[in-house]
């Protein structure tokens, strides 16, 4: 079996002999972009350039995965958010679309931006045509709470969470429904699985109680409406919440570098555990010996797949990704 087949088998419940190394989060590099003659600012609005960027990591390192889109804000743009594509960073929302969560209802029915969705879907198809027999393709969407943070004034949102919790829950359910449609479109265009990147709604950021009250119900709805397989990525210290996170309905949970993998492996039961190489201190700023050591520690702790703890830093050296993939000297 090739790495793609091994990963597909893993996501469908049949574990390979050794945990594979790949990612369902953004994993492009400056070296990869240069190898394709691409500038970072031009890869988000052009399907052909987006596809070449997404495929570049595999072509330089053999890492058997590609993720699209190459930013997390596209669903917010569809709902009326203006994105800033300038500078060296990933596209970001310029300003809130609504003042309060109670205004979220109705945004979906008047979704303004569909061109970028079409661009992303075309890019997925191009990646599948180019390297689809060798890699697994992740269609990435934000979690409902993360999307809500992009759309709503956070200060007002936090007040509503205290004073009008049902209003916030209703908004999250609306966004969950919207995101499930995007995820379904990604799958129909060739994505092999969906990664839900719930950065802002992780219990490591909003706390275990608020995660269970607000985020978990929306994630359960989202996962129930998405085709399998699904990977939920949560950031920060989630050690006290892994049993609750396991109830979300995802086949796999991806955690970051502050997570205690061994205790999480016990807490998750039959749910797959992916993680948790530090994308900044280790993958970007460390050396290959540190990377191989981190890979082995993750395997020893019981991960089902070795993943970066979050999106890659663009400056991550290609040699470091080769070391991550193999666990041996390049």
- CATH assignment at residue 270: 3.20.20.210
Work out the pLDDT band at 330, boundaries 50, 70, 90.
very low
What mean pLDDT do residues 70-84 have? Answer: 94
In a 13 Å sphere around the CA of 262, the CA atoms on its Cβ side amount to 4
C-alpha separations of 309 from 10, 111, 222, 230, 287 in Å: 19, 32, 22, 17, 17
According to DSSP, residue 65 is labeled: E
Rounded Cα distance, 322 and 317, in Å: 9
- Is 20 exposed, middle or buried (CB count within 10 Å of its CB: 0-12, 13-18, 19+)? buried
pLDDT tens-digit series, residues 289-304:
999 999 999 999 999 9
As a residue count, the chain comes to 330
pLDDT tens-digit series, residues 96-107:
899 999 999 878
Tokens of 66: 């590609």
Q: How many distinct structural domains can be found in the chain?
A: 1
Tokens of 137: 């393709």
| Number of Cβ atoms within 10 Å of the Cβ of 100 | 17
Give the per-residue pLDDT at 3: 92
Rounded Cα distance, 72 and 213, in Å: 24
Work out the pLDDT band at 312, boundaries 50, 70, 90.
very high
Tokens of 86: 């300038």
What mean pLDDT do residues 177-206 have? Answer: 96
Structural domain boundaries enclosing 50: 3-326
Query: Which of 309, 306, 325, 260 lies closest to 58, judged by CA?
Result: 325
């Amino acid at each position: 079996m090739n790495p793609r087949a091994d990963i597909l088998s893993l996501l469908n419940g049949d574990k390979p002999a050794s945990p594979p190394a790949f990612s369902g989060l953004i994993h492009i590099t400056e070296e990869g972009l240069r190898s394709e003659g691409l500038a970072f600012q031009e890869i988000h609005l052009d399907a052909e350039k987006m596809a070449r960027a997404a495929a570049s990591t595999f072509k330089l390192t053999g890492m058997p995965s590609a993720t699209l889109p190459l930013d997390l804000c596209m669903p917010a743009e569809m709902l009326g958010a203006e994105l800033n594509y300038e500078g060296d960073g990933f596209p970001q929302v310029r300003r809130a679309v609504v003042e309060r969560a109670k205004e979220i209802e109705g945004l979906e029915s008047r979704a303004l931006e569909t061109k970028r969705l079409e661009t992303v879907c075309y890019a997925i198809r191009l990646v599948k045509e180019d390297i689809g027999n060798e890699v697994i393709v992740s269609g990435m969407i934000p979690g409902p709470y993360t999307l809500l943070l992009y759309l709503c004034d956070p200060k007002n949102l936090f007040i509503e969470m205290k004073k009008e919790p049902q209003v916030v829950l209703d908004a999250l359910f609306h966004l969950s429904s919207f995101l499930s449609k995007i995820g379904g479109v990604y799958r129909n265009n060739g994505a092999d699985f969906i990664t839900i990147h719930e950065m802002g709604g992780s219990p490591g950021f909003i706390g275990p109680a608020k995660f269970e009250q607000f985020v978990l119900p929306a994630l359960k709805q989202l996962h129930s409406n998405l085709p399998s397989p699904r990977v939920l990525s949560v950031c920060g210290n989630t050690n006290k919440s892994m049993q609750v996170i396991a109830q979300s309905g995802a086949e796999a949970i991806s955690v970051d570098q502050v997570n205690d993998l061994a205790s999480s492996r016990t807490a998750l039961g039959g749910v797959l555990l992916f993680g948790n190489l530090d994308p900044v201190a280790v993958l970007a700023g460390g050396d290959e010996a540190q990377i191989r050591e981190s890979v082995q520690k993750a395997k020893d702790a019981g991960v089902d797949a070795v993943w970066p703890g979050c999106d890659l830093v663009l400056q991550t050296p290609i040699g470091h990704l080769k070391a991550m993939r193999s666990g041996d000297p390049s």
